[in-house]
Amino acid sequence: MSYFETSLPAKPYPVGYATGYFDLFHIGHLRYLQLAAQHCEKLIVGIPSDAVVSADKRPKVFIPCEQRLAIVAALRCVSEVICVEVSMEQPQAYLEFLRSVGNQAFFIGEDWQGSARWNRLGPVLQAHGMKLHFLSRTDGISTTEIKQRLSGVPAQAPPAE
């Protein structure tokens, strides 16, 4: 798995792909997409459908897929937005989907690095020539934290040292 280095030339990829639920869209989402767009001529963003989110047993999204698509499509840094009907939990099917998109690079937030999902999916993508880049996250904000605050659940304290 690779990281962007300061020596990476601007826009080395003709087509890049980023993904996310983009529920409760916030500054971290914006910065992630802006950073991904800096490294490709055309940035395609895939947003899992509500059915895929539900089938993957992910936390329920608050904003319906059509609205999440419209929000992300309005961003200047995004070239195209697509609703994704295949789960990342099915690496081979997801690879076939990505081949149809025609991207050379896949951008994902660094908080996914080392997760079970990316330990399964990453090697499949890389074995088929796709470059995988984990992008830095914006400290101090996450959709999970926003949802916790909205529900009145206190934020998790850092582990004691």
Q: Environment class of residue 18 by beta-carbon count within 10 Å: exposed (0-12), middle (13-18) or buried (19+)?
A: buried
Render the burial of 121-143: b for 16+ CB within 10 Å, e for the rest: bbeebeeeebbbbbbeeeeeebb
What per-residue confidence (pLDDT) applies to 139?
Answer: 78
Residues constituting the chain: 161
pTM: 0.83
Segment 34-60, tens digit of pLDDT: 999 999 999 999 999 999 988 876 777
Give me the pLDDT at residue 6, please: 39
- Answer whether 85's CB lies under 8 Å from 52's CB: yes
pLDDT of res. 11:
78
What pLDDT is attached to residue 10? Answer: 72
What's the pLDDT score for residue 161?
Answer: 38
Q: Which residues of the chain have pLDDT under 50?
A: 1-7, 157-161
Handedness of CA 140, 143, 145, 146 (dihedral sign): positive
How far CA 4 is from CA of 32, 36, 78, in Å, comes to 13, 10, 19
Residue ranges per structural domain of the chain: 13-151
Domain spanning 13-151 has what CATH number? 3.40.50.620
Tell me what pLDDT residue 150 has.
75
Helix (H) or strand (E) holding 105: strand 105-109
